[in-house]
Amino acid sequence: MVLPSSARTLVFVHAHPDDEALLTAGTMARAVAEGQRVVLVVATDGAAGLASAELSDGLARRRAAELDESCRVLGVHRLVSLGYADSGLHGDAPGEPGGRMPLCQAPVEEAAAGLAAILVEEGADVVITYDPHGGYGHPDHVRVHQLSLRAADIAGVATVFEATVPRDQLLRGIKLASRVYRFPPEFDPTSFERAFTASADITHRVDVRPFIDAKRASMAAHASQATADDGDRTLAAFLRMPRPLFRRVFGTEFYRLRP
């Protein structure tokens, strides 16, 4: 990612704990090593995330601790929560009386104002969010894309990158990995045919191979998301990859600069 020489503060905006690990952890570690200030904003508590039933009680607290560890290994300078509840895989998780409001129930303008205040406080030079599809289409990801663009507009941040993956390369990577690993039942490779971003629209490719161990450690920090009652989940399969294959699959992170 080529940044203006004056750009010193990068604000990454993600929906749930562990999203930063999968899409942008290498870039975050690289930016820290290069002297940039890295701020991570996470919109929800991740309490609706899939995990083994034995972890369901207190999952939000567990995932907050995992996120703290991920930030530690990446060197993140500041972690901020927007304070919303996880909206669930279909965006319809009910809010608990007196509890946090699910992100998808919150007005975009309200959530954007909270994020804009952080951008102003940090003097953000760059905002990094999701592509319009929200990556693989999770409703909270789509909402984070929307509120991030609005917050950047409110705060006057002109440079916005969308963290994404080129569809064709992703499908090739899945096919390669499937020769070695059996993915869990919930993993549907065909769903990625409609996700993320066309290769022709990718504007920036960030080489994170020198920081691949930090990225892997960030992913490993989110141990609750590698568990399930009926076997391992996708994250667990990724973490079992031999280092050379892991480096090949995850050694580049991809972005689209919004015009």
All structural domains of the chain: 9-257 (3.40.50.10320)
User: What is d(CA 26, CA 254) in angstroms, rounded to the nearest whole number?
Assistant: 11
C-alpha triplet 184, 228, 134: angle, nearest 5°: 70
φ and ψ at residue 36, rounded to 5 degrees = -80, 155
CA-CA-CA-CA torsion for 29, 127, 59, 191, nearest 10 degrees? -90
Q: In the chain, where do the E strands start and end?
A: 9-14, 37-44, 78-84, 126-130, 159-164, 204-207, 252-257
Dihedral of CA 133/136/139/141: which sign? negative
User: What is d(CA 167, CA 180) in angstroms, rounded to the nearest whole number?
Assistant: 21
pLDDT attached to residue 52: 56
pLDDT attached to residue 75: 98
pLDDT attached to residue 230: 61
Q: At what angle do helices 25-33 and 59-74 cross, to 10 degrees?
A: 40
pLDDT tens digits in sequence order for the chain, 259 residues long: 555 555 699 999 999 999 999 999 999 999 999 999 999 999 999 887 665 555 556 788 999 999 999 999 999 999 999 999 999 877 877 777 667 899 999 999 999 999 999 999 999 999 999 999 998 889 999 999 999 999 999 999 999 999 999 988 777 777 776 777 676 666 677 777 778 998 999 999 999 999 999 999 999 999 887 766 465 677 887 888 899 999 998 999 999 999 8
pLDDT attached to residue 201: 94
The helix (H) or strand (E) run that includes residue 219 is: helix 212-221
With H, G, I as helix, E, B as strand and everything else as coil, classify residue 206: strand
pTM: 0.89
User: What is d(CA 94, CA 151) in angstroms, rounded to the nearest whole number?
Assistant: 26
128 DSSP assignment: E
C-alpha triplet 80, 158, 4: angle, nearest 5°: 90
pLDDT attached to residue 179: 77
With H, G, I as helix, E, B as strand and everything else as coil, classify residue 48: coil
pLDDT attached to residue 59: 84
At 238, which amino acid appears? F
